[in-house]
């Protein structure tokens, strides 16, 4: 602390002179003196109170004040921006809500998907006119006849140059052309727009309806044939290949029909002589063993041609939706011109063809196949007293490290290479073999749409696997019903 020089001051009323130090106004202080100084400084800077106001400045901005004034009564409602970006479950909920608001069936269907498969892929809850998510059809070879193949029971193997995929509704019976009409023996029949047939007249002889319907393929399985308003009329299901009657329903009735294997069929109606008819009848063939309400026939067929470079396809899959054709098998024909060698196999004779292409999967690695004249069965191969041919491909003892095709035959077929080659020249072996690595080809992708409700999809080449978009209400109702049934 620095003080000014001492000064002498004389007060008139006092007898003596006092010495008083004069303190500088910038004096630095601490402790109690500092507090006193700070209080003094604060008092010097004070703002005088303005009458009628609690504050002398408005630190709450005018803009905020204006915004607050704009909030209306009842402002507890939450308003969500329509452009809200969300993820996870919230995203799904928002998308479903948007689809409902916009009546967007296609968007709704994306949230209800399910699968169906089989020789006929059937599902009851398809979304109306919505493309199926994925349709995969299997391609299988067709082997004629039945029983074990042998020289006395040759079973030719055929493949495919394309696939035909059909999607129908519940009713599998095709309708006649609208307005198609036929008059015979006093009865006139007319085809209507809803698939029904109107019959009027009194029959003077057997009436054969509108003639043969269009032919359809039905897969092996159980079906129900039903007829309504069909008094004194019969509907006949006929084998389209042999022309023989499979079954019929007479009058307004239904019948369960079981097909043991795939069949090509058509139907025709008949009225016997002496019947007076004035009715409009409907007919339905559906999967299962229960007759349900009539539904007009709806169908779309998709014809798909395989690329030339793929040749005839004997095994594989076709993803119709992506257009990818995958070939898993090939067919080879051996006619005796090949370089066969002989080896004795007990009571039978073994013939080997070495040097097969490396891309063929061998018996040793799971490469089972088919033959038109023999069986591909390791048990039969090791039973030499059986009087039939066994066929396989392996890495065999007669060609170590080399893939070779082996035929084991009874002596009645051949005992020498020359006899065996002569046999093949007369009865070539068709051999269907799996490939080590499948081959793929790109086709044009196709969309297959579904009908509202019941759908049936099949391919002429084999089974089908379908991932489809379901009608949301039907899908949810079915899931709820299944859950309730499980609980009860």
CB 213 within 8 A of CB 284: no
The pLDDT value given to residue 41: 66
Predicted confidence (pLDDT) per residue in 203-222, tens digit: 999 999 999 898 888 888 99
CA distances from 328 to 138, 313, 316, 426 (A): 11, 9, 5, 29
- The phi and psi torsions of 97 (rounded to 5 degrees) equal -60, -45
Other beta carbons less than 10 A from residue 318's beta carbon: 29
Give the domain range for residue 264.
181-297
- Answer yes or no: do 377 and 478 share one domain: no
Q: Cα 260 to the chain's mean position, in Å?
A: 26
Residue 487 pLDDT class (50, 70, 90 cuts): confident
- pLDDT score, position 14: 47
- 171 and 297 in contact (C-beta within 8 Å)? yes
Assigned domain for 17 exists: no
Pick the residue with more confidence: 405 or 185? 185
- Among 43, 5, 45, 41, CA closest to 24: 5
Q: What is the pTM of this model?
A: 0.69
pLDDT value at residue 436: 81
Q: Is 411 found in the same domain as 344?
A: yes
Q: What CATH number corresponds to the domain at position 192?
A: 2.60.120
Please report the pLDDT score of residue 136 as a whole number.
98
Start-to-end CA distance of the chain, whole Å, equals 98
Residue 441 CB coordination number (10 Å)? 17
Q: Which uninterrupted H or E stretch holds 417?
A: helix 417-426
> How many degrees, rounded to 5, is the angle at CA 242 between CA 239 and CA 245?
45
Among candidates 134, 60, 471, which has minimal Cα distance to 323? 134
Residue 266 covered by a domain: yes
Helices and strands per DSSP (H, E), number in the chain? 7, 30
Could you tell me if 124 and 118 are in contact, meaning their C-beta atoms sit under 8 angstroms apart? no
Residue 275 above 90 pLDDT?
yes
pLDDT higher than threshold 90 for residue 158? yes
Token digits for 407? 């035929």
37 part of a folded domain: no
Q: What pLDDT score was predicted for residue 246?
A: 96
Same domain? 201 vs 224: yes
196 — pLDDT class (breaks 50, 70, 90) = very high
Confidence of residue 365 (pLDDT cuts 50, 70, 90): very low
Three-state secondary structure readout of 279-340: EEEEEEEEECCCCCCCCCCCEEEEEEECCHHHCCECCEEEECCCCEEEEEEEEEEECCCCCE
Instruction: Quote the Cα angle for 222-228-230, to 5°.
Output: 115
> Is 459 a member of any domain?
yes
Q: Please, are residues 182 and 197 in contact by the beta-carbon 8 Å criterion?
A: no
How far apart (Å, rounded) are the C-alpha atoms in residues 79 and 430?
A: 73
DSSP 13: T
467 shares a domain with 401 = no
Residue 51's pLDDT is 63
Name which of 14-18, 430-434, 444-448 the model is least confident about: 14-18
Q: In the structure encoding, which two tokens stand for residue 338, read together?
A: 């090949």
Closest to 202 in 3D by CA, of 190, 187, 188: 187
Q: What pLDDT was estimated at residue 464?
A: 96
Flag whether 5 is in a domain: no
**CA–CA distances in Å: residue 125 to residues 63, 72, 263, 355:** 58, 48, 27, 53
Rounded mean pLDDT of 192-213?
95
Q: Provide the pLDDT confidence category of residue 484 given band limits of 50, 70 and 90.
A: confident
Q: Are residues 381 and 449 in the same domain?
A: no
Residue 69 vs residue 109, higher pLDDT: 69
* 22 has pLDDT over 80: no
Among 462, 438, 161, smallest CA distance to 326 is for 438
Q: What 3-state class would DSSP assign to 17?
A: strand
- Say whether both 138 and 228 belong to one domain: no
Domain boundary among 439, 463, 479: 439
Asked if pLDDT for residue 176 goes beyond 70, the answer is yes
Question: Are 284 and 185 within one domain?
Answer: yes
- The count of domains in the chain is 3
The answer to whether 295 and 194 are in contact (CB under 8 A) is: no
| Residue 357 covered by a domain | yes
User: Residue 386's pLDDT band (boundaries 50, 70, 90)?
Assistant: low
Look at residue 290 and tell me if it is in a domain. yes
Q: What's the pLDDT tens digit per position in 396-442?
A: 444 344 567 788 888 888 889 999 999 999 999 998 888 888 999 99
Cβ count near 272 (within 10 Å): 13
Which residues, other chains included, contact 270 with Cβ-Cβ below 8 Å and sequence gap of 6+? 206, 207, 208, 209, 233, 234, 236
Check residues 8 and 446 and name the one with the higher pLDDT: 446
pLDDT of residue 44: 61
What is the overall mean pLDDT for the chain? 80
Query: Is 422 contained in some domain?
Result: yes
pLDDT for 478: 78
Query: Does pLDDT of 146 surpass 70?
Result: yes
pLDDT at 32 > cutoff 60: no
Q: What is the largest CA-CA distance in the chain?
A: 167
C-alpha distance from residue 215 to each of 69, 191, 243, 264, 463 (Å): 78, 17, 12, 6, 20
User: How buried is residue 270: exposed, middle or buried, by Cβ count under 10 Å (0-12/13-18/19+)?
Assistant: middle
Neighbour tally for 178: CB within 10 Å: 11
Same domain for 196 and 279? yes
Name the residue with higher pLDDT: 356 or 271: 271
Is 330 found in the same domain as 309?
A: no
Same domain, 405 and 457: no
Instruction: Please give the pLDDT value at position 279.
Output: 97
State whether 214 and 237 are in the same domain. Answer: yes
Question: Can you give the pLDDT at residue 227?
Answer: 97
Residue 485 or 319, more confident: 319
Copy the structure tokens of residue 394. Answer: 């392996």
Place of tokens 């994925």: 134
Report the percent of the chain where pLDDT is more than 90.
48
Is 433 in the same domain as 447? no
Question: Is pLDDT at 278 greater than 90 in this prediction?
Answer: yes
User: Has residue 3 got a pLDDT over 60?
Assistant: no
Residue-wise pLDDT for 40-95, tens only, equals: 666 566 666 666 555 555 566 777 777 767 666 655 555 544 444 555 545 555 55
């Amino acid at each position: 602390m620095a003080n000014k020089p001492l000064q002498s001051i004389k007060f008139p009323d006092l007898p003596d002179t006092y010495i008083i130090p004069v303190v500088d106004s910038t004096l630095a202080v601490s402790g109690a003196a500092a507090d006193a100084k700070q209080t003094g400084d604060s008092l010097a800077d004070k703002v005088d109170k303005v009458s009628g106001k609690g504050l002398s400045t408005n630190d709450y901005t005018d803009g905020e004040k204006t915004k607050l004034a704009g909030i209306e009564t009842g402002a507890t409602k939450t308003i969500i921006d329509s452009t809200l970006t969300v993820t996870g479950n919230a995203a799904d909920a928002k998308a479903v809500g948007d689809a409902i608001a916009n009546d967007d069936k296609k968007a709704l269907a994306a949230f209800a998907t399910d699968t169906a498969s089989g020789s006929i892929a059937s599902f009851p809850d398809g979304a109306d006119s919505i493309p199926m998510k994925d349709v995969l059809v299997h391609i299988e070879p067709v082997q004629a006849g039945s029983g074990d193949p042998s020289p006395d029971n040759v079973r030719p193997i055929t493949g495919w140059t394309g696939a035909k995929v059909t999607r129908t509704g519940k009713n599998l019976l095709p309708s006649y052309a609208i307005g198609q009409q036929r008059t015979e023996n006093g009865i006139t029949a007319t085809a209507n727009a809803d698939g029904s047939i109107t019959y009027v007249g009194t029959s003077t002889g057997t009436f054969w309806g509108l003639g043969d319907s269009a032919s359809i393929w039905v897969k092996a399985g159980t079906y129900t044939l039903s007829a309504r308003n069909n008094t004194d009329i019969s509907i006949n299901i006929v084998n389209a290949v042999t022309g023989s009657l499979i079954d019929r329903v007479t009058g307004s009735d239904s019948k369960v029909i079981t097909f043991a294997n795939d069949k090509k069929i058509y139907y025709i109606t008949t009225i016997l002589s002496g019947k007076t008819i004035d009715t409009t009848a409907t007919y339905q063939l559906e999967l299962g063993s229960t007759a349900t309400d009539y539904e007009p026939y709806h169908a779309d067929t998709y014809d798909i041609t395989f690329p030339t470079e793929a040749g005839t396809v004997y095994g594989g899959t076709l993803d119709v939706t992506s257009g990818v054709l995958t070939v898993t098998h090939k067919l080879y024909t051996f006619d005796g011109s090949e370089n066969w060698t002989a080896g004795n196999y007990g009571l039978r004779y073994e013939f080997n063809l070495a040097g097969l292409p490396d891309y063929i999967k061998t018996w040793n690695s799971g490469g089972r196949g088919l033959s038109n004249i023999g069986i591909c069965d390791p048990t039969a191969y090791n039973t030499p007293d059986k009087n039939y041919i066994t066929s396989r491909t392996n890495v065999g003892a007669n060609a170590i490290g080399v893939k070779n095709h082996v035929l084991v035959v009874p002596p009645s077929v051949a005992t020498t290479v020359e006899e065996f080659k002569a046999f093949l020249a007369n009865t070539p072996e068709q051999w269907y073999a799996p490939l080590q690595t499948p081959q793929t080809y790109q086709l044009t992708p196709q969309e297959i749409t579904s009908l509202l409700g019941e759908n049936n999809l099949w391919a002429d080449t084999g089974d089908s696997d379908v991932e489809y978009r379901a009608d949301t209400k039907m899908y949810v109702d079915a899931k709820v019903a299944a859950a309730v049934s499980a609980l009860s």
